[in-house]
Structure 1
Amino acid sequence: MGEYPLLAEFLLISRLTRIFRCTIASAVHGANKVNPNQSTLPVIPSLSVTHLLLVLLASLAISFPVLAGSDTVDQPLPQVRMETSEGVIEIMLRPDVAPKTVENFLSYVDSGFYEGTIFHRVIPGFMIQGGGFDRNLGRKDTRTPIPNEASPTLRNLRGTLAMARTSQPHSATSQFFINVVDNPYLNASDNPRKWGYAVFGKVTEGMGVVDAIARKQTGYSSGMADVPNDPIIIRSITVIDSGDASGK
């Protein structure tokens, strides 16, 4: 399947090369016609040739990035449907950037772990967090923490899904959050001391539901702040398009 785009690129290059050669020949012929007494090596108008060279090089430069970009666009990505007491949120996952994080999340999804959990931390103008407590604020047992895959490629922008963790960079388990606004200070950076928070997906439908959850009244409960007064329940999370969960 990948050979077809390469063939198209080859044909494009060949076509441009033929046009380039024909134009040079025409330019030479035209130069000789205008100056019949000049040397047998006519001076081709430099502007025309330079312009054509730039066109050829620009065409190649544009063509190959499009090929690379199309591979990313065409890659099927897994999608999940989150049914909450406030409505439905659909999310596209990014195993191509955060494969271990997506694998971990889907393992919790497949086991039914998230059914009956809540959004236990809700802060307007920041994010909504869930996936670790039941409606009575009982903490659920989780699997082994995963490596932090935070990447500058995926930033904590509005609508992105990221892993919650403690102050330890590699402590994420089941809890996640959805950014309600752009939160650049949560991003990974080249500074080894700033790991960032791993983004591994983005809301494709249901940001209105996310915003509605973010506006809920909150308070203190069981020693935790920002807990919604009325529980926001995650009824289920199901895979609606398995895509390529491996990211390969």
Structure 2
Amino acid sequence: MFKSVFKKTTALLLAAICTVSFAAGCSKSETSESTGKPKVQIEMENGDKMVFELYPEFAPETVNNFVSLAESGFYDGLTFHRIIKNFMIQGGDPKGDGTGDSGKTIKGEFSGNGFEQNTLKHTKGVISMARSQDPDSASCQFFIMHGDTASLDGQYAAFGKLISGEDILDKIADTPVKANSLTGEESVPTETVKIKTITVLSK
């Protein structure tokens, strides 16, 4: 009798624990998936993946431009053509040498260009738009921070943050590089670092 009651009590306790754990797990999952922020995934040719959360409340036109290019397949097969470990990796250039664009430019959404609502800092994992000296020259090229660089804050349109795949970012940043023949900067990958596709996971 005692053994029977003990077994039933134990079974009920286990069931209760499992139910609570399952509910807690669902709650945590729903919280992490219900931020309402757009998310994109950069998948590399070798299958490596990085996921980013985008912040239209800080840089709305920048986010819309990036999402639109990704959805159109613009980034498929392009490369990270500029890599500086502990600083950033840069990609999204159809020419692969830092001179290409998408045929369209957007407003520079950063405080140095009079766009005060963008307060995102250029810390490791932040994704931001590359540009020329013209503050409104951003087009399709982007860079992902591999270190914290405060001097970029307010000067470039940061628009998202890495939320999964920091090991992949580190791996890309470890790619051997050589000097750029025009600038002398040690940043040209000695092997092709190709993006397979950029997928919009949610909008």
8 Å contact kept, 2:94–2:101: no
**Offset, 1:142:** 1.0
Aligned partner (choices 55, 64, 79) of residue 103 of structure 1: 64
Moved over 6 A (4+): none
What is the distance in 2 between the residues matched to 1:116 and 1:222?
24
Q: Give the SS at the match of 1:237.
A: strand
Kindly state the Cα deviation for residue 218 of structure 1 after the two structures are TM-superposed. 0.7
Instruction: Report what 2:43 is aligned to.
Output: 83
What is the count of residue pairs matched by the alignment?
162
Q: Does 1:183 align with 2:149?
A: yes
Query: 3-state DSSP class of the match of 1:202?
Result: strand
Query: Which structure 2 segments of 5+ residues have no match?
Result: 1-33, 112-117
For 1:132 and 1:229, the matched residues in 2 are separated by: 17
- Alignment of 1:114 with 2:75, yes or no, is yes
The TM-score normalised by the length of structure 2 is 0.73
The structure carrying a bigger helix percent of its residues is: 1
Give me the CA root mean square deviation.
Answer: 2.1
The reply on whether 1:198 has 2:157 as its aligned counterpart is yes
Partner residue of 1:217?
176
Structure 1 residues 127 and 85: alpha-carbon distance in aligned structure 2, compared to 1, 3 A threshold: same
Distance 1:107 1:149 in 2: 17
Residue 109 of structure 1: CA displacement?
0.5
Equivalent residue, structure 2, for 1:59 = none
Name the CA distance, whole Å, in 1 between partners of 2:193 and 2:64.
25
Shift of 1:207: 1.0
Q: Distance in 1 between matches of 2:175 and 2:202?
A: 30
Q: Percent identity?
A: 39
Measured after TM superposition, the shift of residue 101 of structure 1 is 0.2
Give the CA deviation at 1:133.
3.4
**What is the TM-score normalised by the length of structure 1?**
0.61
Kindly provide the amino acid, as one letter, of the partner of residue 208 in structure 1. Answer: D
Name the SS of the counterpart of 1:133 in structure 2: coil
Shift of the alpha carbon at 1:198? 0.7
Deviation at 1:222, TM superposition (A): 6.7
Provide the C-alpha distance between the structure 2 equivalents of 1:134 and 1:83, rounded to a whole number of angstroms: 20
User: What is the match of residue 245 of structure 1?
Assistant: none
Which moved further from structure 2: 120-129 or 144-153? 144-153
**Greater gyration radius:** 1
Q: CA deviation at 1:75?
A: 5.4
Q: Distance in 2 between matches of 1:153 and 1:140?
A: 28
Aligned: 1:229 with 2:190: yes
**Does the CA contact (< 8 Å) of 1:116 and 1:134 recur in 2?**
no
Deviates more, 1:103-112 or 1:222-231: 222-231
Alignment CA distance shift 1:122-1:185 (3 Å): same
Partner Cα distance (2:143, 2:157) in 1: 10
Mark the runs of 5 or more structure 1 residues left unpaired by the alignment.
1-73, 189-195, 243-248
1:241 CA displacement: 1.6
